[in-house]
Structure 1
Amino acid sequence: MKVVLTGGGTAGHVYPALAIGRELARDPANSLLYIGTRGRSEELVLSREAQISGAGRIPLRFASSCGYPGTRLLPLLRFLAILATGVLQASWHLLRFRPDLLVACGGYASAPAVFAASLLRRVGLLKVRILLHEQNASPGLMNRVSARLADVTALTFPGSAAGLKARQCCITGYPVRTDLRTLPSCDEARTRLGLEKEGVVLLVFGGSQGARSLNRALHELLPRLLRMGVQVLHAYGTSRGDWNAESENLEMQRGLKAGLGEELASRYHGVPFLFDMQAAYAAADLCLARAGAGTIYELLAAGVPAVLVPKMGLPGDHQVMNARRIESTGAARIVLERPVILGDHVEAGLDPDTLFSVMRPLLESGDERDRQRTLADSEARQDALAELLRLCHELVDRGRVTCEAVPRQPASHAGLESRSTAALSARLARDPESRAYLVYRAGAALISGSWVERNAGVKLAADLRDQSLVPILLRLLGQGRTRWSPRALFGEHYAQNGFIRRNAAAALGQIGHADSQVISTLVGLLDDSYWEVRVEALGALRNLLDTGSASAELLAWAHRRARRGNFEEQIVAARFLEKHERPENWKSWVLPLLSCSNSRVREQAITVLHDLVSSGRLDGHKDVDPLLDRIMLTSTRFDPVFPLKQRMKDLSRSIRETGSC
């Protein structure tokens, strides 16, 4: 049987393909080929894995590919050009190898081979079956497309079927490599890794590229951890792009030695990449890691207690879905990322104190680790690899497979994660965990590259009224005008569009956190070029400032808007002045509003008078009653009930009830 393996971009998509390939390679009658992307994890992992295992290296061929960039025109055109090139390259490799089966394990690196195999099969140039494996609880874009082309889609999580339009779905679990089920002894593993045999070992890794937020939180916690006697084995990543993981880690190690001394600092062991994961899992008492499906199921198979940190902002939030699914069984703990402001930009980060509070019980208590280890053992599926091999053979031999039908509804744990940000609201926070997730989703949306998503995040932040999101809202509002952008041709000169600025101003008023930075930001928005932003900013200031505490400048601005603003500005200015202006000055701004041609402005002026009389700040008989006959009650609104006349009746009733002050 000739089999092509594909999958990559990150190591999480390479290892399941490699696990299947190694089992197939045990039969000398099988021939294997791997198609991946040059310079990505598959090239590195296949080479080093062959050295460690002693097995022959699976031949590797390359096809161009890259991640989906979204709907922006130029990046999208570049993506389509690269993908088309990759499909042609993959077609060449497939026609030369002529496989019976293509096993795709996801990631953008698998797309060219899947598309090429489907195309060649359709035009009659190749007879090949396609087996797709989806590792995550929430399928990514490429796998959702590939599932339509595959003969069979194998799933790790049952709930994944709801996101796929696949011909046939089968539940197999995650194919953990065989070597991770037969670990060496703890002492042997620690010797192989250069660790001391005594004490607690914390294993930390964030995927092949590394995890910036995880690394930086660990750097903050290292002095505490090392003083506790914990040994730290840290794979800090191979990233060499905008963020250089190695140079940042080397700088941290120099500071660690200077601050703690050579002896304590020697308890930290940092490497770019851990190839000997068999020894790493055997040596570890606790693991701090990302929440990719591969990482989770390897930890379960190895029985290592874990604290999982899902990566923020991934398509479909699949790492959060993976982690929450495992957390619900008690086999792991979760710490969610949050937006943090670093200089002039915002990125996903971790609160070191929160992370430490979750890790500490597991580091200090062997009983707690044993409890989590027992739950992990019960959750691990042992037959996933054998089941996938059965599907491979059946698909080639019979052209179809037999497996139980998979329900297409989302799993219960995926209720919130499967919703768009715009569909989330505070009323869905039925417990502390779900509220924490909603705050996380709002934070992720606020730093999204899509203005639509940012706008939805602003609305969710307002609904949640969570003060931890205030700094991010302030940053959105504080970005001010841009030097130039295509939007400037249409009169838009701000970094954030008017919808976001307006809704963020309203959100600050709803959250109710009134420190000096919030107040100064809202005051600055009163000069915004978009009138709706000015309206929401003044409304927020009205709510946040104590009665009568508005500055003379603010009162003067409100007076100007009450006289010359559009009707929305006049209405909110009236509400502001009713709360903050001295009652004896009421005629200077209420009388012009009572004679305004817009009935909604007159209605608001009457409401203001009603409130002033009801609260005893005005003498209804002396000050207001003489004006009633002069107020124009006509209205252009076509409502069965006329609010203007109703407000007038309320005012008259209030005057009668209060009497003379």
Structure 2
Amino acid sequence: MNMAADKKVLIMAGGTGGHIFPALSIARQLQSLGVEVEWLGTLKGMESALIPQTGIPIHYISVSGLRGKSFLTKVLSPFVIVIAIVQAIGKILKTKPSCVLGMGGFVTGPGGVAAWLLRKPLLIHEQNAIAGFSNQLLYPMASVVMEGFAGAFNRKQEITKSSLLKHFYSGDKTVHTGNPLRQEILSCPSPAQRFSDSANTDRIKLLVLGGSRGALAINRLMPELLKDFPAAESIELWHQCGKQNLQTCKAYYAELGIEENQNCRIAAFIDDMAEAYCWADVVICRAGASTVAEIAAVGVPAVFIPFPFAVDDHQTANAIIMQKLGAAWLIQQQELSPERLGSVLMQFIEDKTLILKAALLAQQAAKTDATEQAAKYCMEACYA
């Protein structure tokens, strides 16, 4: 008899893939243990398209962020939040979960408050190196607080210099689990296996990631770099530019006389990221939590260009953790130029042994059992 068959976890996650995919990894792990899983999200987030395809029942509440919104929207926001909490209470009463897991996104705030009001065990997971606003508020309400990067809540307290936050973040309920990853990412061959032949090749394989929506600064930079880079013939490029930017990005390359061929591939989206990481010698990308965790787990050197408008500049904090290990290079967008990036790439071209050294250092930051750890804490909460 499966003792977990009568247990149910309600997962709250939404907005972007950075919240949804780690949550989905935990959902699959819980299902493999015989636990029933349901989802709480919003109709405006990616979850409304992704989760129904998985067969996981999903419920919706109405809530969105306030950044960049009109003054009237901000004035009305307390009423909107109260309505969202009431909606979340209704969904929790309907689904009757054994515990509630918050994985980030706008849904997590109202959903977490609703879980606390109903005295349901609440677990939260912070993916970034600096805790986000919703998780800051939910910290005192949660029974377990999981961190993708150790010290995420302490960093937030250091930024704000708040004695109140210091009081909130005290206690022993915080655990460093790492960020849950898709199984295919964890199945990549080791750096030693992948890079055994790299030192004997003429080219370095450069994977450029702008995120699913693309990053204009990175998309513009790469053709400019290749145009005048003295060692351009030493680079094999795979550039993911974002679905909405494909034609524009191709035009950038064409304007500078760079043709697409076997050594220069431009793609709107890469479906198999495990294949891409395994192929790459070096990755150029933003520094979102999931991306950093994937790069660490696979073991591949990275040049991080953090998104400059991220809340609390958390992408820079994510990147610094890898940089301090010697596994990554950090270039702020305002300092980005073909010359600056080219000087970093020349280090790999001139000394290909640096690729394996940095890859092995990257794996020191990896927490490859994050999914299992998160599921374990959910199971413990179910039986509490």
What interval of TM-score do these two structures reach, taking the shorter chain for normalisation?
Answer: 0.7 to 0.9
Secondary structure at 2:10 match in 1: strand
The residue identity in structure 2 corresponding to 1:59 is P
Q: Does structure 2 conserve the Cα–Cα contact (< 8 Å) formed by 1:12 and 1:207?
A: no
Q: 1:282 to 1:111 in 2, by over 3 A?
A: same
Contact 1:286–1:363 (Cα < 8 Å) also in 2: no
Query: Structure 2 residue aligned with 1:131, among 118, 123, 134?
Result: 123
**How far did residue 379 of structure 1 move?**
2.5
Match of 1:383 among 345, 369, 377: 369
Report matched runs for 1:641-652 at 5 Å: none
Q: After alignment, is 326-335 or 385-394 more displaced?
A: 385-394
Residue 268 of structure 1 aligns to a residue in which SS?
strand
Match for residue 150 of structure 1 among 142, 145, 160? 142
1:276: how far off? Answer: 1.7
Counterparts of 1:265 and 1:259, CA distance in 2: 18
- Specify the alignment match of 1:631 in structure 2: none
CA contact (8 A) 1:7 1:109 kept: yes
Aligned residue number for residue 288 of structure 1: 284
Partner of 1:221: 225
| Alignment match, 1:254 | 251
1:177 and 2:185 matched: no
2:6 matched to 1:14? no
8 Å CA contact 1:66, 1:83 repeated in 2: no
| SS of equivalent residue, structure 1 residue 260 | coil
Q: Say yes or no: does 1:277 pair with 2:283.
A: no
Question: Aligned residue for 1:113?
Answer: 111
Q: How does 1:621-640 map to 2 (within 5 A)?
A: none
Shift of the 64–365 alpha-carbon distance from structure 1 to 2, 3 Å rule, reads farther
What is aligned with 2:32?
26
Q: Report the number of matched residues.
A: 356
| Equivalence for 1:60 | 58
* Structure 1 residues 306 and 390: CA distance shift in structure 2, 3 A: same
Q: Match of 1:113, SS?
A: helix
Amino acid at match of 2:380: E
Name the amino acid aligned to 1:303.
G
What's the TM-score, normalizing by structure 2?
0.82
Which residue in the other structure is 2:41 paired with?
36
Partner of 1:366: 352
SS at match of 2:97: coil
SS in 1 for 2:151: helix
Aligned to 2:198: none
Deviations 1:388-421 (A, max 9, x none): 22211112212xxxxxxxxxxxxxxxxxxxxxxx
Change in Cα spacing, 1:62 to 1:355, as seen in structure 2 (3 Å) is farther
CA contact (8 A) 1:107 1:143 kept: no
CA contact (8 A) 1:227 1:264 kept: no
Deviation at 1:233, TM superposition (A): 2.5
Q: How does 1:228-377 map onto structure 2 within 5 Å?
A: 228-238=233-243, 245-246=244-245, 249-257=246-254, 259-260=256-257, 262=259, 264=261, 267-271=264-268, 273-338=269-334, 350-363=336-349, 365-377=351-363
Q: Which residue of 2 aligns with 1:592?
A: none
Distance 1:224 1:80 in 2: 54
TM-superposed CA distance for 1:218, in Å, is: 2.4
SS at match of 1:304: coil
Within a 5 Å distance, the mapping from 1:363-512 to structure 2 comes to: 363=349, 365-398=351-384
Does the 8 Å contact 1:291/1:310 carry over to 2?
A: yes
1 or 2 for the larger relative contact order (CA 8 Å, sep ≥6)? Answer: 2
Amino acid of the structure 2 residue aligned with 1:350: L
- State the Cα RMSD in Å: 2.9
Flag the structure with higher helix content.
Answer: 1
Equivalent of residue 200 in structure 1, options 185, 204, 211: 204
- 2:247 and 2:323 map into 1 onto residues whose CA distance is 34
Identity of aligned pairs, percent? Answer: 31
1:222-255 CA-partner distances (Å, limit 9, x unpaired)? 43579425333233235xxxxxx42xx4133135
Query: Distance in 2 between the 1:274 and 1:59 partners?
Result: 27
Shift of 1:87: 2.8
In terms of fraction of residues, the more strand-rich structure is: 2
* Shift in Å, 1:277: 1.5
Q: Deviations over 1:154-186 (max 9, x none)?
A: 112332232352462122222222221112699
Read off the aligned partner of 2:207 and give its amino acid letter.
L
Q: Secondary structure at the match of 1:328?
A: helix
Structure 1: gaps (5+ residues): 51-55, 122-127, 190-196, 239-244, 339-348, 399-661
Q: What letter matches 2:265 in structure 1? A: Y
1:385 maps to amino acid: T
Partner of 1:108, secondary structure, is coil
1:334-378 CA distances to partner (integer Å, 9 max, x unpaired)?
00122xxxxxxxxxx732321222233235542111110111122
In 2 relative to 1, CA 136–201 (structure 1 residues): closer, same or farther, beyond 3 Å? Answer: same
Q: Would the aligned equivalents of 1:134 and 1:154 in 2 still touch at CA under 8 Å?
A: yes
Contact 2:223 2:252 in 1 (8 A): no
CA contact (8 A) 1:10 1:208 kept: no
Distance 1:267 1:336, change over 3 A: same
* Alpha-carbon offset, residue 221 of structure 1: 2.3
Aligned to 1:499: none
Tell me which amino acid in the other structure corresponds to 1:384. A
- Confirm or deny: 8 A CA contact 2:136 2:153 kept in the other structure: no
Give the match for residue 197 of structure 2.
none
Q: Which amino acid in 2 is paired with 1:368?
A: L
Q: CA deviation at 1:265?
A: 8.3
Residues 460-496 of structure 1: CA deviation (Å, up to 9, x unaligned): xxxxxxxxxxxxxxxxxxxxxxxxxxxxxxxxxxxxx
